[in-house]
Amino acid sequence: MLRFDLLSTEGHARRGRLTLNHGVVETPIFMPVGTYGTVKGVLPQSLKDMGAQIILGNTFHLWLRPGLDVMAQFGGLHRFEGWDKPILTDSGGFQVWSLGGADGKGRKITEEGVRFASPVNGDKLLLTPEVSMQIQTVLNSDIVMQFDECTPWQTAGVLTTEAQARSSMELSRRWALRCKTEFERLGNPNALFGIVQGGMFENLRQESLDALVEMDFPGYAVGGVSVGEPKDEMLRIMAHTPHRLPAHKPRYLMGVGTPEDLVDGVACGVDMFDCVMPTRNARNGHLFTRYGDLRLRNARYKTDERPIDETCACHACATGISRAYLHHLDRCGEMLGPMLTSIHNLHYYLNLMREIREALDAGQFAAWRQRFAEDRARGV
């Protein structure tokens, strides 16, 4: 089940409400990434407390471990990981792309699907559009993503040509139809999203978009960005594609990105975002604040008594935990450090989206966006 209500707009920016089998999601929204069925270092209740409405699971990795027999025993991913709100699962396409390595030789792509060796035990595996749909049906995720080929920006240092991008896009388009056919055959009661591909070529993006809209998916994603291309290239595609998707269906920008990327994405008509950046950066002492980024490992924070962000209401900031203490935990390799910083970064991202929703509700997004840029430029 999927219902999307478009509540208001300001330019291309949209305020919406997404109703799924496991709950309601207010958009625009950021979705924390839980690759192996967990958002690293963060309790499910902590996610709820900070305002997470929907999280991600990783089809590819959960297929390998713990496996579909375990997932079926628990009736899907929700009960297995103790999360009763909506879940989106990716299709495995991005992992296939990343497994290829810099030269793309780590997997073999054919019309049938992708053959590769399991990174867990070396078993020879074949992932097809049909298998991806079968896995995600067992996972019972509220939003299922089509299996696609994530078109690389470059391979072995050589930029992807338009001809190569077209071949990749057309393969994803054919796979999209196979996914839809299998999804319907399985009687999956959830929602299947198509993924717009086409590399850095607007004409190919438009062809992909038109074909997917003709297939009439319940929602659409923009994939194949943030795959190593320069920021201006990503912004060009982000400015071109989302607002051309159907206005009455949700739009998801995959794997993006910084706070500025999220704000720019909303301005371009995006409703949903995900990225590992808040948690991955947190584990490396890179924190996001209203007034810019903080590099916790800098020696200047060794004696800094201030919280990460004095305007933040996350557990770490609200209880007065100091930058000095977090610097100490990081230097000592104590697990509490990345737990607290992950909570902070995720809280920052989710609060950022809440502020955007409130600004859109008030018809003040443009003014809010200007203040956001000024605050972020101020520095910590």
What are the residue numbers of the active site?
A: 90, 274
For 43-67, write each residue's pLDDT tens digit: 999 999 999 999 999 999 999 999 9
Q: Is 312 annotated as a binding residue?
A: yes
Give the CA distances from residue 113 to residues 125, 132, 275, 295, 330, in Å, rounded to whole numbers and listed in that order: 10, 10, 26, 42, 43
Give every residue of the chain whose pLDDT is below 50, as ranges. none
Q: What pLDDT digit, counting tens, does each position of 239-295 carry?
A: 999 999 999 999 999 999 999 999 999 999 999 999 999 999 999 999 999 999 999
Q: Tell whether 93 is in a known binding site.
A: yes
Q: Is 91 annotated as a binding residue?
A: yes
314 is in an annotated binding site: yes
**Residue 94 labeled ligand binder:** yes
Whole-number mean pLDDT of the chain?
96
Q: What is the pLDDT of residue 101?
A: 63
In this structure, the number of other CB atoms found within 10 A of the CB of residue 143 comes to: 28
Whole-number pLDDT of residue 107: 85
**For the chain, which residues make up each domain, given as ranges?**
2-275, 283-378
Residue 342 annotated as part of some ligand binding site: no
Supply the pLDDT for residue 103: 63
Just give the CATH number of 2-275.
Answer: 3.20.20.105
What pLDDT was estimated at residue 104?
Answer: 64
pLDDT given for residue 237 in this prediction: 97
How would you class 101 by CB atoms within 10 Å of its CB: exposed for 0-12, middle for 13-18, buried for 19 or more?
Answer: exposed
Give the per-residue pLDDT at 102.
58
